[in-house]
A and B are shown apart, each in its own frame.
Chain A
Amino acid sequence: MQDVLDKPRRGDALSAVPAEPPVTVRRRRNNRARWELTARITALSMFCLLLLFPFVWLVSQSLKDTNQYFAVPFEWIPSPFRWENFTDVIFKYEFLHYIGNSLWLALYAVVVNILASSFVAYGFSRFRFPGRNALFMVVLATMMLPGQVMTISLYRFYREIGWIDTFYPLLIPKLFGAAFEIFLFRQFFLSLPREIDEAARIDGCGTLRTWWHIILPQSKPVIIVVAVFTFLGSWRELFGPLIYLTGEENRTLPLGLLYFTSPFGSSLPMLMAAIVISLIPPVVLYALGQKYIDKGVAIAEIK
């Protein structure tokens, strides 16, 4: 995984070209390179501006009251700022409760997914057994299956055993690992030298302890990537909670947003404030794990 990103860049190879062109040609090439760079940066800046506009607009709208929200011409900097929107959403609109539900579900998913998926991936990467490669292909194939196909019969099953409007349908399936995360862990484990495992084994370390004491401590980069992706996946999940969590008490943050209604008037700025709140954790999480995530996404491509 590392070496794909550390491959020599174009510039390195350029400097290795021996024959220096004459000065005029070089200057012309320099001019063209500079012009090209300017064009590149201009295009990217314009695109980023386009990308950022809705988010700036969102923050601006979340700090207004309804009259300011609909004012024409548009005010980018609200006057006055209505910071109360945020406290109102959190405390008066039950969002504290929704955030709490979403947060513990996401943290549970992170812990369980790291343990279960790395455990399974350890089996796939360090043991030889009949049908291993075929079974791993099945793991990959399950990523193609639309989850909704299973959801319908699972819903009926959960209804039979009384799990509707409990968190069990969201908690229990996570105990068995997830295909994409198993794939990420396996790819990473394959890149770890086997010699250390061997040494541990000779010293009398069982395979379970090897996984816990040798493999996992070396896997910080992939653990961080899996943690961030799992958190984000759980944080934004709507379909499962929408179907399984029918009561108001168990609503997660996405459900709170979906059913957003206002008992106190002026709901749109409040909705915008709620959106801002729900977007903060993903952004913070990305900022924290950025170094690893940029590389982690690349794993998916090295199949």
Chain B
Amino acid sequence: MTMVSAEQRPRPKRRWWRREGVQGYLYISPWLLGFLMFGVAPLIAAFLTSLSKANVFRTIRFVGMDNYEKILTDDPVFATIAGNMLIYVIGSTVISIGLGLALALLLYKDFRGNHVFRTLIYVPSLLVGIATAYLFKQVFRGGEVGLANMFLSIFGTEPVNWLGDSEKPWLALVALILVNVWFAGGTMLIFLAGLKGIPASYFEAARVDGAGPWQMFRKVTLPLLSPVIVFNTVMALIGHIQVFETPLAFANSGGVATGNPLGYENSLGTFVTYLYVKGFVYQDMGYASALAFIMFAATLVLTGLVLWLARRFTAYGDADQN
């Protein structure tokens, strides 16, 4: 007591709420409260809902895993959508990551006008939303009026009916994926920051050892950039799985929410548009909740897959943790 009292002398005077630990909790309490109210509680409620079914009179009945079973084994619409999502997520992630990385490599060296290019490429990615969704719906319009078809006509290609071809409904999905070319700027900027974080001496050492550009990319850039690549890939996957505005706008006919919001033969259906239709158009909350959890599970599986692949193929896994 006597020995430590000099250190602790101010302690007994302090009120309990002045203690560091207590204050820390007080400061984070808004988030904690919000997390419990708008995160944990609705999550539990959604899980319970997903195990139930409400009939027209809104009496709720516990049905166990029935909703999940129906979605996964006996829902042709979901089967189509799962296929759509697999193609869309893979295609879009390849564009986001591949194009983002390529642009970052092009912009890595400083030259006059670099800044202008960077700004022009980055700004569209800030504009993603229903406005650009409607813009691209017009861009991918069938006939000669659409901008995409005007572009193709330079190469002598016949006008493509992107969003309304009953024989090739997959064309709509291709258009949906291509839109991501305009939004690669976000990943580009993060890649650029990652590239600038690699010490220049590494490149110099490789050059002195006689490495060509490809070897330099393969053996220096790629391994050292791998944490950023993994981060960007996971973020892109999460974002693409939750795509909503563009497919909804593409499937919308005329401007009002009429027709099938999932597109012709559900060719534009995504997890979130289907969830929206089931939960908020047909008011089947149990089914929609189960869909939401399946979407979440798909996110976790894909993220886990990326992390597993990253660990397998990155030989220098620990070297880049600076």
Contact = CB atoms under 8 A, between A and B. Distances in A.
Report if A and B associate in a common complex. yes
Given A10-B203, A54-B135, A135 B28 contact: yes
Contact of A129 (B20, B145, B242): B20
Contacts of B248: 258
A247 to B, nearest CB: 15
Contacts of A41: 111, 113
B46 A128 contact: no
Contact of B34 (A14, A144, A176): A176
Contact of A128 (B24, B131, B201): B24
A127 B23 contact: yes
A272 B254 CA distance: 14
Interface string B237-252: 0100110110011001
B20 A10 contact: no
B21 A279 contact: no
B272 A232 contact: no
Contacts of B129: 235-236, 238, 254
B156 to A, nearest CB: 16
B130 A282 contact: no
Interface in B231-282: 231, 238, 241-242, 244-245, 248-249, 252, 254-257, 272, 275-276, 279-280
Interface stretch (A84-92, A153-161, A192-200): A153-161
A142 B41 CA distance: 13
A236 B204 CA distance: 44
A278 interface: yes
A63 B49 CA distance: 49
A43 interface: yes
Interface residues of A, number: 102
A257 B134 contact: yes
B200 A10 contact: yes
B128 A40 contact: no
A2 interface: no
B49 A175 contact: no
A147 B181 CA distance: 25
Nearest to B126: A282
A177 B33 CA distance: 10
A120 B124 contact: no
A200 B231 CA distance: 38
B23 A259 contact: no
Nearest to A70: B145
Nearest to A61: B138
Nearest to B179: A54
B257 A258 contact: yes
B78 interface: no
A152 B134 CA distance: 26
Contacts of B106: 40, 43-44
A48 B120 contact: yes
B186 to A, nearest CB: 8
B155 to A, nearest CB: 14
Nearest to B105: A40
A119 B27 contact: yes
B211 interface: no
* Most chain B C-beta atoms within 10 Å of own C-beta, residue among A13, A58, A152, A243: A152
A142 B110 contact: no
A132 B46 contact: no
Contact of B25 (A47, A122, A129, A283): A129
Interface stretch (A103-111, A219-227, A292-300): A292-300
B266 to A, nearest CB: 19
B111 A129 contact: no
B293 interface: yes
Interface stretch (B68-76, B168-176, B284-292, B308-316): B284-292
Contact of B20 (A128, A138, A146): A128
Given A123-B24, A146-B242, A275-B135, A260 B255 contact: yes
Contacts of A37: 109, 111
Interface string B175-208: 0000001100010011001101101110110000
Contacts of A114: none
A297 B126 CA distance: 12
B119 interface: yes
26 contacts: A5-B196, A7-B197, A9-B200, A10-B109, A13-B201, A44-B117, A51-B181, A55-B124, A58-B138, A120-B28, A123-B28, A129-B22, A147-B242, A148-B272, A148-B292, A151-B42, A152-B42, A154-B38, A177-B34, A254-B131, A260-B134, A271-B255, A272-B138, A283-B127, A294-B118, A297-B190
Interface of A: 4-5, 7-14, 17, 37, 40-41, 43-45, 47-48, 50-55, 57-58, 61, 69-70, 72, 74, 116, 119-120, 122-124, 126-130, 132, 135, 138-139, 142, 144-157, 173, 175-177, 182, 207, 211, 232, 235-236, 238-239, 242-243, 254, 257-262, 267-268, 271-272, 274-275, 278-279, 282-283, 286, 290, 294, 297-298, 300-303
Sort A-B residue pairs by CB-CB distance and give the 10 closest, nearest first.
Answer: A176-B34, A123-B27, A127-B24, A236-B129, A298-B193, A153-B45, A129-B24, A129-B21, A13-B200, A150-B42
